[in-house]
Structure 1
Amino acid sequence: MCGIYGSTIAYNNSQINEKLERSNFRGPDKLKFDHFGDDNQVIFGHNRLAIIDLDERSNQPFTYQEKVHLVFNGEIYNFKDIKITLIEKGYKFNTTSDTEVICAAYLEYGESCVNHFNGMFAFVIYDKIKNIFFGARDRLGQKPFYYYHNGKNFEFASQLSVVQLYNQNLSISKKAISLYLAWGNIPDPYSIFNEIKKLRAGHSFVFNLSTTEFTEKTYWDIDYKGENKYKGSFEDAVNILDHTLKDAVKLRLFADVPVGIFLSGGVDSSVIAALATKSTNSKVKTFSVKFNEKGFDESIYAQQVADHLQTDHHVIECNYEEGKSLIIDFCHYYDEPFSDSSAIPSMLLAKHTREKVTVALSGDAGDESFIGYHRYNWIKKGQLISSVPFFLRKIGASILNLSSSYRLQTIAKILSYKTADDIYLANMTHLNPSWIKSDVDYLDLDEIKYLKHKNKNLFERISDFDLKSYLVWDINTKVDRATMAFSLEARAPLLDYRVVEFARSLPTSFKFKGKNQKRILKEVLYKYVPKHIFDRPKSGFSMPFSEWFKTDLKDYVLSELSDENLEHIPCIDAKLVSLYIKEHMEGSWNRFTIIWQVLVLKQWLDNNGKGYPIK
């Protein structure tokens, strides 16, 4: 887990060093850069967080056989198996790292080497013989990759701000701001700057240094056409999932540094903790967050699971002042507007977990793969609503809109959408986007195809769509930046592509039957932890910001989002947002989500956007 950097732009050594210092929190163990190629036109740099083979022999940029140079962020969990195969083919190794294995695999398999890797990664290889960069991002986008290509030069990094530094040819994207206000994040391949893009998950690229041509291609995708269907019994599927997850957890427990588990007490993190205790003889360290506010403290459930599994459990108490400081420094780590407020407790959890371990396993991706979100449950109601003739729904909506009730107006908005697909997309963006001033079509995204087809039922299409959008754009971004802010590596066994592919092949009833969500995952869990511990409603991972905005943070919000300041924020209706803030402070309407989004955008513009034109 590290920060990578590379460029063909002729920066001086002082500038390169400053760029790497900007992302030093991603890898504080070693900062290093080298020049390669004819006239030293290639710069590769690296911030190392040493996890496997702590010896300096595995520092990067890494050179193999004087043929290829590599910078790599992430982990290849199955590198030992790949290494055995490569040794049989005559390759020799001087380290015990996965870094060296990537280089040898590229020489043996070429661009298809990525198909052999089970892991989370973003890497670039400089092939001296072919005079090209070959790079790739992992299948589900756990690791970030930003790049700048102006038709001549090419620059890349793990953090957008690193590419931004000393680049005088950037402009802020009005489209990206509009997409952010709708989705709460900036969807791939866009970034907040028009000229900087994100490499899509499951994609590789080639940059030809001779011709300066950049080409990108897909090397992996989910089976959204539903062609690979599991035919076995539910009991057999439980056993297959149990076995696959055990292997995924075991692979991710390997490290040359201490490893722990994020344990919220929910199904996903509990099954990971349970399987971890079965995969090691040492006592597993687990970590959870405690909030004092009523309705936000779930630590008691994590403690129950930890007691049953007999883990070395650590409860981190949320401190208001500490949380406030993370809000103020938020954009330093997230680099571009990002409004998932659970990023703050994620950062708190990572900060204190890092005091005990360097690697932490998480339960991310269980909801997407196994139909676990609340919204999947109420989408059943959306199906019923969409079955009512549209003209009748429009009449009902017009009547309900006469009410001042937030609940009734929300129902009215839902009634106004033609299909259940549209209802879902509205929920994932904004049921009432009237405060966003933009002519950008925020549904004009490639990922919409995973929802808008008829190859699968609604729940499977929604699940596919969330895997390709919400998981990549939001969840993985949140976890990567939150953990790397404190030099902590997060690993997610449920994001093992074998688990994801198996889940995609299963009948919907194996995952969601009646009101039982994540059915098959729960059956695996109940082999190790008593069912009665989980007989409670599902809860999310959040902080009491809605209340704090009316109390402890009220002055901060009113100062930052004054009427004068709102007028300078692009793509919003300043007067309407001002009204929303007033409604929230009075307690007549919960406008927290919108307030937080605008607050994050203003913070980014103040800290990173000065001097750049908005186009």
Structure 2
Amino acid sequence: MCGIYGSTKVYNESQVKSKLKRTAFRGPDQMGWEFYKSDNYSIVFGHNRLSIIDLDARSNQPLSYLDNIEIVFNGEIFNFQDIKDNLHKKGYTFKTTSDTEVICAAYLEYGEDCVNHFNGFFAFVIYDKLNHCFFGARDRLGQKPFYYYHNGKDFEFASQVSSIQLHNNNLSISEYAIKSYLTWETIPDPLSIFNEIHKLLPGHSFKFDLTSGTFKTKQYWDIDYHGKNKFKGDYQDAKKELKDLLSNAVKIRMFADVPVGVFLSGGVDSSIIAAMASETYDGKVKTFSVKFNDKGFDESVYAAKVASHLQTEHNIIECNYNEGIELIENFHHYYDEPFADSSAIPSMLLAKHTKKQVTVAISGDAGDESFSGYHRYNWINQGAQFMKIPYPIRVILSKLTSLAPTHRLKVISKYMAFKSIESIYLDSLSDISLSGHSGGKYVNEVEELKYLIHNNKNLLERVSDFDLKTYLNWDINTKVDRATMAYSLEARSPLMDYRVVEFARSLPTEFKFKGGNQKRILKDVLYQYVPKEYFDRPKAGFTMPFENWFRQDLKEYVLTELSKDGLKVIPGINIEDVSNRINKHMDGSANNYPLIWKLLVLKQWLNNNKGYEIR
């Protein structure tokens, strides 16, 4: 796990060093850079290394292979030993025990198809000296970030946007990206906060021709959203295959030359990962969870119960107010783009204290998307029944129920007036309520709508596919990468092994969701390790007590930052409407903490990035 950088723009050594220093937290073990020159172009590659596999300096980057390949690489290839064995048989030799060399040899052997051989999370760029080009790729599900700047001639790339931002005088803030952020609470791929910088899409590779300056991308992987690959066996067959697949996914992610631990929230996903890690690990697995002192936010008791059953070495990290505030104040430095998932703060706290004992942490991310675990899958399934009522009748019912006194009936009233269940789902995920902008535009223009709006699968499968391509990538992966990298901790998720994801997509819906039993097959595998009664409780989220903080200790901060004058720097919002909603939160008549947090994050970023034109 590291930070990568490279450019064909001309920067001096001091400037390159400052670009690497800006994100040195991603890899504090070694900072390296190399300049390469030819008659037609100049190149610099840079790398911040977090040493995980082959800790020797021989694996430092930029790394050369056979004199004609240079590489910078962020991530891990978990099946690199198998690939390496096959390449050995083909005559390739290796000087290190790292996976970095294996990527180079695989590129020489398989060309651009090398990415199809890799099981892992990665973002890398290869400088192919013989063919005068860059070849690079981002992993299938977007776990590792990849930003790039291309103006038709020059090309610059990095793990985080701030490294490209430094010393680049040709950038402007994207008003479209800001409005998309206000809609989605994150900036969707391929956008970035700057008009001139983009993200490489997950499951895509690229080629940049150093002679002509042309840049082309290619999709090498996607989920089966056409529903062609269907599991052939019965439920017991599926359960056995899932257990074997997931067990292997955990096992290969436990390999490292540094200490490894497990994030354990006490929920289904993290518990099954901890159980399988304990089964494969020689010794006691270290597990880590967060405890909140505020009433209603402490789920650590459930994690402790699972840890006791599995006999792990469990560590409970207490979240106190002062530490939370410190993380909020430095939030923009690590996320370096507006990002409004408030669970990023406890994720950072968890990473900060976990890093004191281990360098790699295994997580349970992606279980909800693959196995229909979110609350919204249940209510969208129920809501689909309402949509069978003819639309004209629903409009009348909507008007009648809008007069109801309860919030729940008012929500039902609103959704009954929607023309399709898909539009209801999109509305539930996005925020188009900032009445100063046309939020519908920023919902309906995302390319990923093709995973939701089609007739190849049933509704539950389509919303799961859509979440895999949007919420998991835009939100969860961004949150986890920045939170863990802020403290030089590598987070690995076995449930994001592409084999597990593909298998889950092939299963009949009732294997995952039946009679209100969500994550059915995953739970049944888990119950072979941990008693079922441990999980007889409502699903809990990973949230902060912001609702109370914003009314109490942080009230003055909120009212100062988000005063009417302060809000003027944010394009496309209705200041009167927003101020009214903030006041309603403060007097306790509404809970608008998500809106407040979203605006605070954006305001903090804008405060620290003054001088750019917004257009």
Residue 237 of structure 1 deviates from its aligned partner by: 0.5
1:25 aligns with 2:16: no
Residue 19 of structure 1 deviates from its aligned partner by: 0.2
Residue 415 of structure 1 deviates from its aligned partner by: 1.6
Distance 1:153 1:42 in 2: 10
1:112 aligns with 2:113: yes
Residue 437 of structure 1 deviates from its aligned partner by: 5.6
1:87 match: 88
Residue 407 of structure 1 deviates from its aligned partner by: 3.5
Deviations along 1:200-226, one digit per CA (max 9) or x if unpaired, are 000000000011000001000000000
Residue 405 of structure 1 deviates from its aligned partner by: 4.9
1:536 aligns with 2:519: no
Distance 1:153 1:435 in 2: 37
Q: Is the 8 A contact 2:434 2:578 kept in 1?
A: no
2:338 match: 337
1:64 match: 65
1:379 aligns with 2:380: yes
Q: Is the 8 A contact 1:226 1:505 kept in 2?
A: yes
Moved more, 426-435 or 194-203: 426-435
Deviations along 1:316-347, one digit per CA (max 9) or x if unpaired, are 00011111111111111111111000000000
1:579 match: 580
1:356 match: 357
Per the normalisation by structure 2, the TM-score is: 0.98
Amino acid of the residue matched to residue 516 of structure 1?
A: N
Deviations along 1:503-539, one digit per CA (max 9) or x if unpaired, are 0000000000001000000011011111110111111
Distance 2:433 2:402 in 1: 12
2:34 match: 34
Deviations along 1:414-437, one digit per CA (max 9) or x if unpaired, are 122111111100001026453546
Distance 2:34 2:159 in 1: 17
Q: Secondary structure at the match of 2:191?
A: coil
Amino acid of the residue matched to residue 232 of structure 2?
A: K
Q: Is the 8 A contact 1:435 1:577 kept in 2?
A: no
Moved more, 301-310 or 29-38: 29-38
Segments of structure 1 that go 5 or more residues without pairing to the other structure are none
Residue 395 of structure 1 deviates from its aligned partner by: 2.2
2:2 match: 2
Aligned residues: 614
Q: Is the 8 A contact 2:126 2:135 kept in 1?
A: yes
Q: Secondary structure at the match of 1:327?
A: helix
Q: Is the 8 A contact 1:189 1:199 kept in 2?
A: yes
Distance 1:416 1:478 in 2: 34
Matched ranges for 1:185-204 at <5 A: 185-204=186-205
Q: Is the 8 A contact 1:438 1:571 kept in 2?
A: no
Q: Secondary structure at the match of 2:608?
A: helix
Distance 1:443 1:113 in 2: 35
Q: Secondary structure at the match of 1:549?
A: helix
Deviations along 1:61-101, one digit per CA (max 9) or x if unpaired, are 00000010000000000000000000000000010000011
Deviations along 1:353-379, one digit per CA (max 9) or x if unpaired, are 000000000000000000000000111
- CA change 1:454–1:184 in 2 (3 A) is same
Q: Secondary structure at the match of 1:547?
A: helix
1:599 match: 600
Residue 381 of structure 1 deviates from its aligned partner by: 2.3
Per the normalisation by structure 1, the TM-score is: 0.98
Amino acid of the residue matched to residue 394 of structure 1?
A: V
Matched ranges for 1:196-235 at <5 A: 196-235=197-236
Q: Secondary structure at the match of 2:230?
A: coil
Moved more, 585-594 or 475-484: 585-594
Distance 1:226 1:199 in 2: 26
- CA change 1:404–1:571 in 2 (3 A) is farther
Matched ranges for 1:138-217 at <5 A: 138-217=139-218
Amino acid of the residue matched to residue 301 of structure 2?
A: I
Q: Secondary structure at the match of 1:186?
A: coil
Amino acid of the residue matched to residue 6 of structure 1?
A: G
Distance 2:119 2:604 in 1: 37
Q: What's the C-alpha RMSD, in Å, of the aligned pairs?
A: 1.2
Residue 234 of structure 1 deviates from its aligned partner by: 0.4
2:431 match: 430
1:520 match: 521
Q: Is the 8 A contact 1:29 1:48 kept in 2?
A: yes
Amino acid of the residue matched to residue 396 of structure 1?
A: L
Q: Is the 8 A contact 1:406 1:589 kept in 2?
A: no
Distance 1:435 1:546 in 2: 24
Deviations along 1:128-187, one digit per CA (max 9) or x if unpaired, are 000000000000000000000000100000010100111111111111111111111111
1:307 match: 308
Q: Is the 8 A contact 2:183 2:439 kept in 1?
A: no
Residue 37 of structure 1 deviates from its aligned partner by: 3.6
Segments of structure 2 that go 5 or more residues without pairing to the other structure are none
2:328 match: 327
Amino acid of the residue matched to residue 411 of structure 1?
A: I
Distance 2:438 2:571 in 1: 8
- CA change 1:433–1:414 in 2 (3 A) is farther
Residue 412 of structure 1 deviates from its aligned partner by: 2.4
1:554 aligns with 2:569: no
Moved more, 6-15 or 592-601: 592-601
Q: Secondary structure at the match of 1:442?
A: helix
Moved more, 528-537 or 411-420: 411-420
Q: Is the 8 A contact 1:121 1:143 kept in 2?
A: yes
1:456 match: 457
Identity across aligned pairs (percent)?
64
1:482 aligns with 2:483: yes
1:446 aligns with 2:447: yes
Q: Is the 8 A contact 2:432 2:438 kept in 1?
A: no
Residue 552 of structure 1 deviates from its aligned partner by: 1.4
Q: Secondary structure at the match of 1:434?
A: coil
Distance 2:564 2:438 in 1: 16
Q: Is the 8 A contact 2:29 2:51 kept in 1?
A: yes
1:469 aligns with 2:470: yes
Matched ranges for 1:388-399 at <5 A: 388-399=389-400
Distance 1:205 1:414 in 2: 42
Distance 1:251 1:52 in 2: 13
Q: Is the 8 A contact 2:293 2:320 kept in 1?
A: no
Q: Is the 8 A contact 2:49 2:61 kept in 1?
A: yes
Residue 409 of structure 1 deviates from its aligned partner by: 3.1
Residue 544 of structure 1 deviates from its aligned partner by: 0.8
Amino acid of the residue matched to residue 561 of structure 1?
A: L
2:78 match: 77
Amino acid of the residue matched to residue 12 of structure 2?
A: N
Q: Secondary structure at the match of 1:317?
A: strand
Residue 392 of structure 1 deviates from its aligned partner by: 2.2
Amino acid of the residue matched to residue 47 of structure 1?
A: N
Matched ranges for 1:228-247 at <5 A: 228-247=229-248
Residue 438 of structure 1 deviates from its aligned partner by: 6.3
